[in-house]
Amino acid sequence: MKIIVGGAGNVGKSIVSYLSRGNNDIVVIDEDERLLNEVAKEWDVMPLLGSVAHPDILQKAEAAKSDLLIAATDSDEVNMIACQAAYSLFNIYRKVARISARVYHKAAWGGLFGDHDIPVDLAFSPDYEIALTIKRVLQYPGMSSVYPFAGKKLSLLSFRCPKKCPLLQIPLNHLERADPDLNIAVVNIIRNGKGFIPNNDDTFHAGDEINLLALTEEIEDVIHSFGLERKDNERIIIFGGNQIVEYLAESMEDDDSIMSCRIIDEDPRSAALLATRLNNTAVFNGSIMSDAVLTEAGIADADAAVSITNDDKDNIIAAMIARKNGVESTFALVNSRSMNTQMINVGDNVLIDRTTITISSILKELRKVRLNNAYTLGLSGEVWEIVIDENSPLIGSTFEQLKLPLESKICALVRKGEVVLSPASNTHIEEGDILMFFVAPLSIRRAEKIFA
């Protein structure tokens, strides 16, 4: 696939780092030569200096031969103009734009985007998606990720298996006998850095990163069964002063289960701005490393600390300091994939991976399958939500007859509103079925051909 990425900042880098793993021909456009050089040194891409909204630059990028444009600069307006130029002048079929300003996402302006208006096929806001992700994991202490599927009927849960997990060394086909209340479909397990789809006789090990599907209404049961219980996150401290912080704090103010939310921001200007925009959130201006500032902000009473500055090292250190001060649940935003792999699980902090969240928000536009929803599990694979429409040639086939790749699995089926976890291989596909499907990276192309 030939793809043009506009923007070489954090968002653009996240996108390029993921796309470069596949067989993609990628052009990266940015007006900052330093950022372009950084991207070109790390990934096999063609750097192009200039604005992605300028027709002459798009022409140099061979836009007329491109399959997809992802406009991800820091300017919403530049991104929208880039999509317009790509559509009107070069007939690029799919166009994705980073749109950060909340006003563009309001339902009242829902008709703004479309082929006869501003031709954006998907408008996404990474900052908002990151805030939403953090909000979900704060809601369920013990989880490192919670992602909704099938109209929120199902949730994809990710967590690290604790040493005192009651289900250790129990074969998966005996879980129902050991814990009759546990109703899950294990998607995959990451052990010692390697992901695999477990067999019925496989067991959970302490330290495993487990990805599974469960009914959203039964998440608390999963937390109990795996021994992940922690006290509720009612008092929150946030480190940073960017757009993500504002989104997250606003959501906390609307949540009756949150008793207090406090922000520590080193930048006096952004701290002052946050103080004027937020109604019930205390904002402190000072160093996140200062004992005096931490004490004033009430670090000793906090249930959770979230560090989401633009610097990965500051985020890791701030989370570790919070842990040292007795905070049980600590979260750190990781902007760089290299930092994520090097610092994984430092001090038992939950790492919020910008790349995973950014890619997940646009993943359905990257695949040659009509997807309702999709989520990436990083290097181990992707989870797709596939709807079987009336024209699908798969209707009437059994799951076994699809001849799916070995490194893939239909994890759940939603039929007429009813959820079936781990459906049998002899299940026949019907019109209107919703499939939750896991596929490893090397099997994606094969899976696309089956479900295209």
pLDDT tens digits along 35-54: 999 999 999 999 999 999 99
> How many whole angstroms separate alpha carbon 83 and alpha carbon 150?
30
- C-alpha 4/C-alpha 24 separation (Å) is 10
Looking at 206, 225, 244, the residue that finishes a domain is 225
| 325 plus 308 within the same structural domain | yes
β-pairing, 46-49 with 434-439?
unpaired
Does some domain include residue 256?
yes
**Residue 25 and residue 118 in one domain:** yes
Other beta carbons within 10 angstroms of residue 424's beta carbon come to 11
Same domain, 20 and 110: yes
Q: What is the dihedral of CA 17, 20, 26, 29, to 10 degrees?
A: 10
CA pair distance 155, 172, nearest whole angstrom: 20
Q: In this structure, what are the phi and psi dihedrals at residue 170, rounded to the nearest 5 degrees?
A: -100, 120
Asked if the structure places residue 17 within a domain, the reply is yes
What's the pLDDT tens digit per position in 246-278?
Answer: 999 999 999 999 999 999 999 999 999 999 999
Residue located via tokens 């546990």: 182
Token readout for 336 is 């760089």
Q: Let me know whether 70 and 6 are in one domain.
A: yes
Answer whether residue 85 is part of any domain.
yes
Where residue 337 falls among pLDDT bands split at 50, 70, 90?
low
CB atoms closer than 10 angstroms to residue 427: 16
Distances (CA, A) of 114 to 83, 215, 231: 11, 34, 46
The reported pLDDT for the residue numbered 23 is 84
pLDDT single digits (tens) 191-239: 998 999 999 999 999 999 999 999 999 999 999 999 999 999 999 999 9
Would 136 be classed as within a structural domain?
no
Are 97 and 13 found together in one domain?
Answer: yes
Q: Is residue 403 part of a domain?
A: yes
Q: Is 98 a domain residue? A: yes
- The alpha carbon dihedral of 266, 361, 348, 252 has a sign of positive
Residue 135 CA to residue 348 CA, distance in Å, equals: 19
Please, are residues 87 and 114 in contact by the beta-carbon 8 Å criterion? no
Q: Tens digit of pLDDT for each residue in 85-115?
A: 999 999 999 999 999 887 877 766 666 787 6
Does residue 129 sit within a domain? Answer: no
Asked whether the predicted pLDDT for residue 340 surpasses 60, the reply is no
CA dihedral 137→138→139→144, nearest 10 degrees, is 20
Instruction: Say whether both 264 and 211 belong to one domain.
Output: no
CATH number at residue 82: 3.40.50.720
Q: Among residues 76, 212, 213, 230, which one has the least CA distance to residue 150?
A: 213
Token representation of residue 232 = 């509720």
For 31-169, strand residue ranges (E) read: 46-49, 68-71, 94-98, 122-124, 145-149, 154-160
What CATH number did the domain enclosing 430 receive? 3.30.70.1450
Structural contact between residues 213 and 187, judged by C-beta atoms closer than 8 angstroms = yes
- The pLDDT score that the predictor gives to residue 403 is 95
Band of residue 397 on the pLDDT scale cut at 50, 70, 90: very high
Say what the pLDDT of residue 101 is. Answer: 86
**Is pLDDT above 70 for 347?**
no
Domain end, chosen from 91, 124, 157, is at: 124
351's tokens: 């790492």
Q: What is the pLDDT of residue 44?
A: 93
Q: Are residues 339 and 366 in the same domain?
A: no
| Element housing 66 (H / E) | none
Q: Quick check: is 250 in a domain?
A: yes
Tell me what pLDDT residue 349 has: 77
Check residue 389 and report its DSSP letter: -
Domain's final residue, options 354, 385, 406: 354
- DSSP class per residue in 114-142: STTSB--SEEE-HHHHHHHHHHHHHHSTT
190 Cβ partners below 8 Å, 6+ apart?
208, 209, 211, 380
Examine the domain organization and report whether 276 and 349 are in the same domain. Answer: yes
Q: What is the tally of structural domains in the chain?
A: 4
Residue 344 reports pLDDT greater than 50: no
Same domain? For 198 and 89 the reply is no
Side chain identity at residue 346, one-letter code:
V
78 and 150 share one domain: no
319/306 Cα distance (integer angstroms): 7
> In this predicted structure, what is the pLDDT of residue 343?
45
pLDDT tier for residue 117 given thresholds of 50, 70 and 90 = confident
Residue 95, Cα to own-chain centre: how many angstroms? Answer: 20
Q: Is 383 exposed, middle or buried (0-12, 13-18, 19+ CB in 10 A)?
A: buried
Q: Quote the tokens at residue 339.
A: 């930092």
pLDDT above 80 (res 62): yes
pLDDT of residue 346: 53
Helix, strand, coil shares, percent, the chain, to 5: 35, 25, 35
Q: Do 242 and 341 share a domain, yes or no?
A: yes
322 and 425 belong to one structural domain: no
Q: How far apart are CA 325 and CA 322, in angstroms?
A: 5
Map residue 410 onto helix, strand or coil: strand
Residue 6: which domain range? Answer: 2-124
The answer to whether the beta carbons of residues 274 and 283 sit under 8 Å apart is yes
pLDDT for 413 beyond 60: yes
* pLDDT at res. 390: 93
pLDDT at 424 over 50: yes
Render 220-279 in DSSP notation, one character per residue: HHHHHHTT-------EEEEE--SHHHHHHHHHHHT-TT--EEEEEES-HHHHHHHHHH-S
